[in-house]
Amino acid sequence: MHFDAFDRYHEKSSFLHGLDPRVKVLVTVIYIVSNALLPDAAWFSFVSAWIFLIAANLLSQLGIEYTFKRSIIALPFALVAITVLFSIPGKPISTFQFLMWDLTITDAGLLRFVSILIRSWLSVQMAILLVAVTRFPELIHALEHLRVPAILTTIIAFLYRYLFVLTDEVLRLIRARESRSAAVAGQRSGGGVAWRAKIAGNIAGQLFLRSYERSERIYNAMLSRGYSGHLYTLNPHEMKQRDYFVTAFAIAAIFIVQLVGRL
Amino acid sequence: MPVTHTIKNFETFEYGGEVLTIKDLHFSYPDGRVALDGISLKLCSGDKVALVGPNGAGKSTLMLHLNGILGGRGDPSTTLRVNGMELTRDNLPIIRAMVGLVFQNPDDQLFSPTVFEDVAFGPLHMGLPEDEVRACVDVALEAVRMSSYKDRLSHHLSVGEKKRIAIATVLSMNPSILILDEPSAGLDPRARRTLINLLRELPNTMLVSTHDMALVKELFPRTIVMDEGRVVADGLTMEILDNEKLLTAHGLEKP
């Protein structure tokens, strides 16, 4: 039984796949920070950032629309910003009543809302592209090389390894419940809401206990192989000339995007 | 690739070359339950020994003592030596390299994202230089016939593959003794057969806990029967498997 829904890596041998993972992580982070720093309604910048993204998509051989399709699931999170529509003072565009409030959309608010939407949408796509072209262990190596504290990279590595094991565990628990969720013909089944909530609580508790015991066993397995509080890894990555060149080029391009937005 | 352990202040004592010496080992869990009640046994180099007994007999507890994860202090009458070395706090790292303990559930044993990193974990912690670590990993994966799995992700493997990689993760430390906890549990017949062939080929000294009596008969010349924290029989597998009274008394079955 496997649960691989979280594995977003796509095996290909494109230009982006071949880059050093450090370059990819660094450029992605800079791109996202740059997007966040762009002023509102900097349309030329948004377009140039988008072109940058499309170029990256093309270089990944995944197809122009690949990240676009994937990004749609992340879009609802941007709706958190919906309040800026009403909260920023400016010229009113339209007024309507929602429950007991009178809400007025202002022009400044609308501009900011659309800008936030575009910024987050571009950033999410770049992150999606990063995990699609980089194997997860390599991402962790990249973070180690970039001096992210070892405790964080270790936690991420363990999270990645056991996310799948845990999901399988949950699926098994739920399956065990399903297969005993029987009914007598002609009678309403399922029990009361409180009772069902209690069962769900028991499942969550079971999951916690099993994970806790598993963590103990994993720790023992680590001790057995000499673990003494420090993780060592071998990271066989080496920056090539091409990697430096790409980093420089990408940073320059992002810098130009920023300049366009501020002129 | 052989690994040399330089031992300082090596205390000399009466030592007949045993890989593992246990004398009068006791252990109770914090809740007072007695798990080990005076275990004594010896393993010589090259021995392949099966450890059988009902659930709760103390087999796993004994195994966790062999590399100092449990116990290790207290009773002065207790002796626990690996390659003649007393199990003390100072010796612990060396003993952990000598005793290759493979846990029952390979998902507990394989905790790194990739197979390579998992097999390299032990050698890296022993502080070996990089090229030696790579050599150790190659040899260990070759020994379990999994060389082509080096860059695979652990969670994409089947149970049988995970088991073999789990064995490789301790083989890479070049241990003097392999301790396996129920290696054939949960395997389909083909994976079980592959594992048996693998265990037969491995030259290491072995102590294997199992409920699989057919496996015991096939692989191990010597068997130790444990029940209620005690060694109740220790001898030739053939003789123990013929002693039906003993087997029934301890909840075992003749294969």
Question: What is the distance between the alpha carbons of residues A142 and B170, in angstroms, rounded to a whole number?
Answer: 27
CA dihedral A160, B186, A170, A202 (to 10 degrees): -130
Q: How many helices (H) and strands (E) does chain A have?
A: 10, 2
Helix (H) or strand (E) holding B254: none
Q: Which of A141, A166, A224, A234 to mutate to test the interface with B (most CBs of B within 10 A)?
A: A224
The count of residues in chain B is 255
Q: Report yes or no: B66 and B209 within 8 Å, Cβ to Cβ.
A: no
Provide the pLDDT for residue A31: 95
Q: Which of B65, B98, B125, B157 to mutate to test the interface with A (most CBs of A within 10 A)?
A: B125
Provide the pLDDT for residue B149: 92
Q: What ipTM was estimated for this complex? A: 0.72
Inter-chain touch B126–A226, beta carbons under 8 Å: yes
Provide the pLDDT for residue A29: 95
Burial A240-251 (b: 16+ CB within 10 A, else e): eeebeebbeebe
Confirm or reject contact between B154 and chain A (CB < 8 A). Answer: yes
What Å distances lie between residue A99 and A81, A96, A103, CA to CA? 20, 10, 10
- The alpha carbon of residue A61 is apart from the nearest alpha carbon of chain B, in Å, by 23
Q: Which chain A residue's Cα is nearest to B94?
A: A226
Confirm or reject contact between B124 and chain A (CB < 8 A). Answer: yes
Residue A108: both structure tokens together? 């400044």
Residue A57 lies in a domain: yes
Inter-chain touch A137–B134, beta carbons under 8 Å: no
Question: What is the distance between the alpha carbons of residues A128 and A8, in angstroms, rounded to a whole number?
Answer: 8
Confirm or reject contact between B156 and chain A (CB < 8 A). Answer: yes
Residue A158 lies in a domain: no
Q: Which chain A residue's Cα is nearest to B129?
A: A234
Greater confidence (B3 vs A153) lies with A153
Inter-chain touch A136–B113, beta carbons under 8 Å: yes
Question: What is the distance between the alpha carbons of residues A249 and B6, in angstroms, rounded to a whole number?
Answer: 52
Inter-chain touch B99–A224, beta carbons under 8 Å: yes
Band (pLDDT 50/70/90 cuts) for residue B11 is very low
Collect all residues of chain A within an 8 Å Cβ-Cβ radius of residue B134.
Answer: 234
Inter-chain touch B153–A137, beta carbons under 8 Å: yes
Band (pLDDT 50/70/90 cuts) for residue B14 is low
Residue B121 exposed, middle or buried by CB count within 10 Å (0-12, 13-18, 19+): buried
Residue B160: both structure tokens together? 């049988």
- Segments forming the whole domain that contains residue A118: 15-135+238-262
Q: Report yes or no: B114 and B151 within 8 Å, Cβ to Cβ.
A: yes
Inter-chain touch A232–B124, beta carbons under 8 Å: yes
Collect all residues of chain A within an 8 Å Cβ-Cβ radius of residue B112.
Answer: 157, 161
Tens-place pLDDT, residues B84-109:
888 888 888 888 888 999 988 888 88
> For the domain with range B18-249, which CATH number is right: 3.40.50.300, 3.20.20.70, 3.40.47.10, 2.60.40.10?
3.40.50.300
Three-state DSSP state, B255: coil
Residue pLDDT tens, chain A, 263 long: 444 555 677 777 888 888 899 999 999 999 999 999 998 888 899 999 999 999 999 898 888 888 888 888 777 887 888 888 888 887 888 877 777 777 788 888 888 888 988 999 999 999 999 989 988 888 888 998 888 998 898 888 888 888 888 888 888 888 877 777 767 777 777 677 887 888 888 888 888 888 888 888 999 888 888 887 777 777 677 888 999 999 999 999 999 998 888 87
Band (pLDDT 50/70/90 cuts) for residue B135 is very high
Facing residue for A225 by CB, picked from B125, B130, B134 = B125
Tens-place pLDDT, residues B138-163:
999 999 999 999 888 888 889 999 99
What number of other Cβ atoms are within 10 A of residue A202's Cβ? 12
Inter-chain touch A234–B155, beta carbons under 8 Å: no
The count of domains in chain A is 1
Collect all residues of chain B within an 8 Å Cβ-Cβ radius of residue A1.
Answer: none
DSSP string, A68-107: HHHHGGGGGGGGGGGGHHHHS-S-EEEEEEETTEEEEEEH
Collect all residues of chain B within an 8 Å Cβ-Cβ radius of residue A154.
Answer: none
Sign of CA dihedral A204, A210, A215, A218: negative
